[in-house]
């Protein structure tokens, strides 16, 4: 009895060992693979340009910079847009063909589509100022892990302010985030990042 | 570029020194206002405010022609977002300074009644510990295009 049990159990043991080695190997491999590929943030989206429908995939370039703010913002938005503009002034015609800046205003209640387009374009002629419906805006804001919060500010002349993410997102041609810079304050940093990613 | 900024700074400091009164507790360095942007109603002003006196001094903004309203603001980061709050005054520490800078403390100016151009001097009126002080702020462009500016200055 003991022998008949022992003999097959040895076989089973060897097979089980082989199986375990194989399974753990596969597991380890996929774990390494998972660690190397960060989950993709971003993708295509739809907004409005001067009131008309605007699809990212119809206007994408090799490298797309995205900033989310509002036109009536007097402090961080214009500062971020001007450092990008200052960086863009250093690029060649050929480089400029491959890059663009998209500015999305989340202030769907106060920023008119033409105002946003004109606002963005005065920093740099090819900056694209976008608006959208609340649903479109919220979709984009969530897509890129950004956020905004409208706050009533009765003490202030303007009456409100919008707290928002202060970040430049660098998107590839699919709209996926490949880099981001928080509190962009230096045109050199933007310039170097674009050079590196192009 | 740096030269232009330096010239601008020297001009600003010089024109300030001319108007300086002996009694003034605060001095302003690099006082500048960005030319208002199209599509926006507000613009911001920045400077370094120095207090050479032995006591803390309060700074309250009162007016700046031709803007309809002026306020002192503070941008703070809250839950990953940049939020702007109106503050009644800035406090400048004794023998110290306060830097008004983008993404921090700043003055905010609303709805100018006429077009503001680059290189203007906007007289901003403050109450410094209750005393009037007028400070010239130079208007500067959001984006400086070096070539144009050079021909402008020389
Ligand atoms: Cu402000």
Cis peptide before B112 (omega within 30 of 0): no
Mean pLDDT rounded to a whole number for chain A? 89
pLDDT band at A2 (very low <50, low <70, confident <90, very high): very low
Q: Which residues of A touch B83 (CB under 8 A)?
A: 149, 151, 161, 163
Assess A158–B contact: CB distance below 8 Å, yes or no.
Answer: yes
Lowest mean per-residue pLDDT among A113-117, A129-133, A154-158, B114-118: A154-158
| Spatial separation of the C-alpha atoms in residues A66 and A146, rounded to whole Å | 11
Residue B81 pLDDT greater than 80, yes or no: yes
* Structural domain B27-142, CATH architecture: Sandwich (2.60)
| Bridging pattern class, strands B42-51 and B105-112 | antiparallel
pLDDT of residue A10: 62
B73 CA distance to ligand 1 centroid (A)? 5
Contact B125, B133 (CB under 8 A): yes
Mean pLDDT of A148-176: 94
For A13-45, write each residue's pLDDT tens digit.
666 666 677 667 666 666 555 555 566 899 999
- The answer regarding whether domain A46-197 maps to CATH 3.20.20.370 reads no
Residue A121 pLDDT greater than 60, yes or no: yes
pLDDT of residue B151: 42
Instruction: Indicate which of A109, A126, A147, A157 best probes the interface with B, i.e. most B CBs within 10 Å of its own CB.
Output: A157
Reported in sequence order, the residue ranges of B4-66 that DSSP labels E, i.e. its strands, are 26-34, 42-51, 57-64
Burial state string for B102-125 with b = 16 or more CB within 10 A and e = fewer than 16: bbebbbbbbebeeebeeeeebebe
Q: Which residues of A touch B37 (CB under 8 A)?
A: 71, 78, 119, 122
| Spatial separation of the C-alpha atoms in residues A126 and A140, rounded to whole Å | 21
Mean pLDDT of B34-55: 94
pLDDT of residue B146: 61
| Spatial separation of the C-alpha atoms in residues A118 and A133, rounded to whole Å | 19
pLDDT of residue A14: 60
**CA angle at A192 for the pair A117 and B5, rounded to the nearest 5°:** 70
For B19-34, write each residue's pLDDT tens digit.
444 468 899 999 999 9
Contact B77, B83 (CB under 8 A): yes
For A54-106, write each residue's pLDDT tens digit.
999 999 999 999 999 999 988 999 999 999 999 999 999 999 999 999 999 99
Kindly report whether the global pTM for this prediction surpasses the value 0.90: no
Mean pLDDT of B37-45: 92
pLDDT of residue B145: 75
Which residue in chain B is spatially nearest to A145 when comparing CA positions? B80
Q: Which residues of B touch A183 (CB under 8 A)?
A: 82, 103
Write down the domain spans for chain B.
27-142
Name the minimum distance, in Å, from the CA of B139 to any CA of chain A.
15
Residue B140 pLDDT greater than 80, yes or no: yes
Mean pLDDT of A169-183: 96
Residue A4 pLDDT greater than 50, yes or no: no
pLDDT band at B113 (very low <50, low <70, confident <90, very high): very high
Assess A159–B contact: CB distance below 8 Å, yes or no.
Answer: no
Mean pLDDT rounded to a whole number for chain B? 86
pLDDT of residue B120: 97
pLDDT of residue A32: 57
């Amino acid at each position: 009895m003991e022998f008949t049990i022992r003999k097959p159990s040895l076989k089973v043991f060897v097979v089980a060992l082989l199986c375990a080695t194989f399974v753990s190997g596969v597991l380890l491999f996929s774990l390494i693979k998972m660690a190397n590929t960060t989950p993709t943030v971003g993708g295509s989206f739809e907004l409005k340009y001067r009131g008309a429908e605007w699809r990212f995939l119809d206007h994408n370039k090799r490298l797309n910079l995205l900033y989310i703010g509002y036109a009536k913002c007097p402090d961080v938005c214009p500062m971020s847009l001007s450092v990008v503009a200052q960086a863009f002034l250093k690029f060649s015609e050929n480089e400029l063909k491959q890059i663009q800046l998209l500015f999305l205003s989340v202030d769907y209640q106060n920023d008119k589509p033409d105002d946003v387009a004109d606002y963005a374009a005065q920093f740099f002629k090819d900056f694209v100022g976008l608006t959208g419906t609340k649903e479109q805006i919220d979709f984009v804001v969530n897509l890129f892990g950004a956020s905004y919060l409208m706050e009533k500010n009765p003490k202030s002349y303007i009456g409100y302010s919008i707290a928002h993410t202060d970040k430049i997102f660098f998107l590839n041609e699919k709209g996926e985030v490949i880099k981001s810079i928080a509190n962009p304050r230096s045109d050199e940093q933007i310039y170097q990042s674009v050079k590196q990613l192009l | 570029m740096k030269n232009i900024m330096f010239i601008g700074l020297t001009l600003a400091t010089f024109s300030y020194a001319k108007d300086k009164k002996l009694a003034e507790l605060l001095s302003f360095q690099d006082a500048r206002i960005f030319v208002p942007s199209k599509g926006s109603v507000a613009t911001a002003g920045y400077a370094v405010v120095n207090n050479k006196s032995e006591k803390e001094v309060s700074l309250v903004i009162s007016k700046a022609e031709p803007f309809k309203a002026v306020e002192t603001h503070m941008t703070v980061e809250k839950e990953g977002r940049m939020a702007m709050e109106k503050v009644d005054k800035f406090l400048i520490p004794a023998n110290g300074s306060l830097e008004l800078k983008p993404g921090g403390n700043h003055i905010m100016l609303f709805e100018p009644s006429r077009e503001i151009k680059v290189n203007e001097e906007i007289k901003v009126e403050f109450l410094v510990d209750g005393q009037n002080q007028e400070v010239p702020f130079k208007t500067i462009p959001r984006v400086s295009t070096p070539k144009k500016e050079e021909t402008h200055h020389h």
